[in-house]
Every structure is written in structure tokens, then in C-alpha cells.
């Protein structure tokens, strides 16, 4: 198992993993599959030193990924990143999400970050438990903010301070 920076040749596997999550209505607000072409600009907006995108490989197969995303797009939030984790169905419940999240927390300060946030549907108990296990706290609750197949869903905002300022 290795975690490494994604390359453009990884994008089809990244998109396939993302698309596998769409039908479950658990992890993304996208309702239809996305194409590799539609995710190219998203991919190119990442770099190892700013908003990285990592893949986790198991025996040469891309089994999941983690992305850092700028939070809210305004300069005052530059020390905060939103993170997302997606694991291929065949590799779920194997601890890969834990490994990716542990690395994100560990590497976050070297990226100049102080805070990590994630947005998780309230009915996605596996993801909520994963982030809680790593010390993320519930920082917000947006009731009935998304509609997935005619069902209104709540969104939970979770956060973790990875670097406390020196006083």
C-alpha cells in the first residue's frame, strides 16, 4: 500500500471511484455520473504544495483518493482546507480511509494549514464515524439542504484544528 500524489494518468481511476459513489446517495451531491473530461480542470487546479490530490494504491491498483480543496475561496480562509475521501467499493472497510485521513492530518501543517473541514451527509454514518475517530468535531448542521431522489438530506460540517496558534 502506498499513498502518492495523483498524476493525470490516474484521473480515469479517480473518476471511476467517484462515480461508484454516486448511486448510493451517501457521499456526493452529484446525481449523475461525471466524465474524465469534466474533471480535468478540477484535477489541474491541484498541486502537491497547494490543494494536493493523493491516491492510495494497493498492489498497483488505485483503491481510493483524498483531495484538499480551498475552503470558501476567500483569502481569510487560506489556512483552512476542505478534504474529501473516496474509496473504491472493493476496498471499503479495509482501513484505507483511515490511512489517508491520518496522512492528511499529519501533512496538513506542512501545507500551511491550521484547520481541516469536511462536509458529510448526516445519513453517512461510516464517514461520520471515521472523522470522529480522528478527533473531528461537529461544527455545523444544515438541515434538509440537499434533495437526493426526492428525499431531503441533512449535511454535517465537521472540523479539526491541526495547528493551534502560538500565543
DSSP of 23-48, one letter per residue? TTTSS-S--S---TGGGHHHHHT-BT
Q: What is the pLDDT of residue 50?
A: 83
Q: What is the pLDDT of residue 27?
A: 92
Q: Give 6's Cβ-side CA count (13 Å radius).
A: 28
- Provide the total of helices (H) and of strands (E) in the chain, helices listed first: 4, 7
Q: What is the pLDDT of residue 8?
A: 96
Q: What is the pLDDT of residue 164?
A: 62
Residue 120 parent element (H or E): strand 115-121
| Full-model pTM | 0.93
Q: What is the pLDDT of residue 9?
A: 97
Q: How confident is the model at residue 46 (pLDDT cuts 50, 70, 90)?
A: very high
- Segment 33-47 shows an average pLDDT of 94
Question: If you compute the radius of gyration of the chain from its CA atoms, what whole number of angstroms results?
Answer: 16
- Segment 43-71 shows an average pLDDT of 95
Cβ proximity of 54 and 66 under 8 Å: yes
Q: Write the pLDDT tens digit of every residue in 73-123.
A: 899 999 999 999 999 999 999 999 999 999 999 999 999 999 999 999 999
| 167 pLDDT higher than 70 | no
Of residues 8, 7, 27, the one with CA closest to residue 18: 27
Q: What is the pLDDT of residue 163?
A: 79
Residue 164's Cβ-count burial label (10 Å; 0-12, 13-18, 19+) is: exposed
- Segment 140-150 shows an average pLDDT of 96
Phi-psi region of 145 (alpha: psi -120 to 50; beta: other; left: phi over 0): alpha
- Segment 12-34 shows an average pLDDT of 95
Cβ atoms < 10 Å from Cβ of 136: 23
- Segment 51-68 shows an average pLDDT of 97
> Alpha carbon 48 to chain centroid distance?
15
Which domains, from first to last, does the chain contain? 2-161 (3.40.630.30)
Which comes out higher in pLDDT, residue 164 or 1?
Answer: 1
Amino acid at each position: 500500500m502506498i499513498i502518492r500524489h495523483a498524476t493525470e494518468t490516474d484521473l480515469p481511476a479517480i473518476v471511476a471511484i467517484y462515480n461508484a459513489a454516486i448511486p448510493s446517495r451517501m457521499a456526493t451531491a452529484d446525481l449523475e455520473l461525471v466524465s474524465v473530461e469534466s474533471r480535468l480542470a478540477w484535477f489541474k487546479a491541484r498541486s502537491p504544495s497547494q490543494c494536493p490530490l493523493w491516491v492510495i494504491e494497493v498492489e498497483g491498483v488505485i483503491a481510493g483518493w483524498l483531495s484538499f480543496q480551498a475552503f470558501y475561496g476567500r483569502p481569510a480562509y487560506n489556512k483552512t482546507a476542505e478534504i474529501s475521501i473516496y474509496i473504491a467499493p472493493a476496498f471499503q472497510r479495509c482501513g484505507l480511509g483511515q490511512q489517508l485521513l491520518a496522512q492528511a492530518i499529519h501533512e496538513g501543517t506542512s501545507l500551511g494549514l491550521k484547520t481541516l473541514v469536511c462536509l458529510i451527509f448526516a445519513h453517512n454514518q461510516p464517514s461520520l464515524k471515521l472523522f470522529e475517530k480522528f478527533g473531528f468535531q461537529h461544527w455545523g448542521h444544515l438541515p434538509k439542504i440537499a434533495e437526493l431522489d426526492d428525499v431531503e438530506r441533512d449535511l454535517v460540517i465537521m472540523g479539526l484544528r491541526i495547528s493551534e496558534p502560538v500565543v
